[in-house]
Amino acid sequence: MLKKIIFVVIFLYSCNFIHAQPVDTSAAELTISVKDVKIHGTLLPAFTKEKIVIIIAGSGPTDRDGNSPLGITCNTYRILASDLQQSGIASFRYDKRGIAASSYKQMDESKLSFEDYIDDVQEIFHYLRDTLGYKDFYIAGHSEGSLVGMIAAQRIPVKGFISMAGAGRPINNILTEQITANNPVIGKQTDSLFNVLKEKGKIDTVPLYLLSVFRPSVQPYMLSWMKYNPTIEIKKLQVPVLILQGTCDVQVKTTDANFLYEANKQATYLIIDGMTHTLKDARAGCDDKDMKTYKDPSLPLNNVLVTEIIKFVNDN
């Protein structure tokens, strides 16, 4: 595959996808069993079963549509699925284990691991291929889902992997940077606690203001997550790779996309001007102080992102 570096300016592209409020008239609700957990998701079929994209959500309680009870109502994944369908490409998006419809009574956060999410993708693939008959698979992982997807793509036969706003460093580095930007003192403390977790496997005493990151029940998951370095994992991929990152993303930086590309220079690499972490366009100057791209489901996805994803799937 020819390597390609593209720095994208929004106004150079025509507007091809305007359906910000998709209507899933042909959607099918699927339930896929993974060991003792049932994963619920939405299959949005196209005219054939040739190509299908598995969409993997980002971190936290983000559901299959890209929304969260933490105040995020952007419909990012639902819109992406609709845009793909318009171009004859099927998709499957799902609620991660323990989230939304995939929640379960016996859920024990302390027993959840990063590997569980990878296993879920593998089982989803086998169901869609072996039971439903889909042929050519692509993985599109957003944020945390990028790392989940790039590891899963090493274990199942996919035609291509798409990283949307995926981190290029281990999660402990990302979180330390984010916290440091708001409070350098707490940032140093965060870095120290990550080192303790890495060395001892647990943290006995956690300040109240860092419980969201280091509460005892989430420490095993955090430990299993931070052992993966995205630059090492993306280097292992033997399939075409598309790396997409926005300049107005306040959660993941363009430097992360740079790290991913430097690790896999056969990838197609796009820095998209004006795009936020929700894969939508901020106002001029990256103005998203009112969090509109996080809270307005009527906003369409960035046109460049959608166009390039469809091109990537059709060309590979």
Rounded-to-integer distance, Cα 194 and Cα 203, Å: 9
Look at residue 9 in the predicted model and tell me its pLDDT: 31
The H or E element spanning position 245 is strand 241-246
Q: Is the pLDDT of residue 10 over 50?
A: no
pLDDT in tens, 128-152: 999 999 999 999 999 999 999 999 9
Kindly indicate the confidence band of residue 11, based on its pLDDT and cuts at 50, 70 and 90. very low
**Distance between the two ends of the chain, CA-based, in angstroms?**
9
CA–CA distance, 8 with 12 (Å, rounded to integer): 8
* Mean pLDDT computed over every residue of the chain: 90
CATH architecture assigned to 4-170+228-315: 3-Layer(aba) Sandwich (3.40)
The whole-angstrom separation of Cα 145 and Cα 137 is: 16
Give me the pLDDT at residue 211, please. Answer: 95
Which residue type does 198 have? Answer: K
Rounded Cα distance between 231 and 71, Å, is 31
Greatest distance between any 2 Cα atoms in the chain: 55
Q: Range(s) for CATH 3.40.50.1820 in the chain?
A: 4-170+228-315
Q: What is the pLDDT of residues 275-296, one digit of tens each?
A: 999 999 998 889 888 899 999 9
* Tally of CA atoms within 13 A in the half-sphere of 6 that contains its CB: 21
pLDDT tens for each residue of 92-134: 999 999 999 998 888 888 999 999 999 999 999 999 999 999 9
Quickly count: other Cβ atoms within 10 Å of residue 77's Cβ. Answer: 28
Q: Which two tokens stand for residue 36?
A: 């003792």
pLDDT digits (tens, 9 = 90+) for 235-277: 999 999 999 999 999 999 999 999 999 999 999 999 999 999 9
Sheet of 51-56, strand order: 4-8, 268-272, 241-246, 160-164, 136-142, 51-56, 90-94, 37-44, 28-34
Give Cβ neighbours of residue 236 (< 8 Å, ≥ 6 apart).
Answer: 154
Q: Which helix (H) or strand (E) holds 185?
A: helix 184-200
Under the banding of pLDDT at 50, 70 and 90, the label for residue 13 is very low
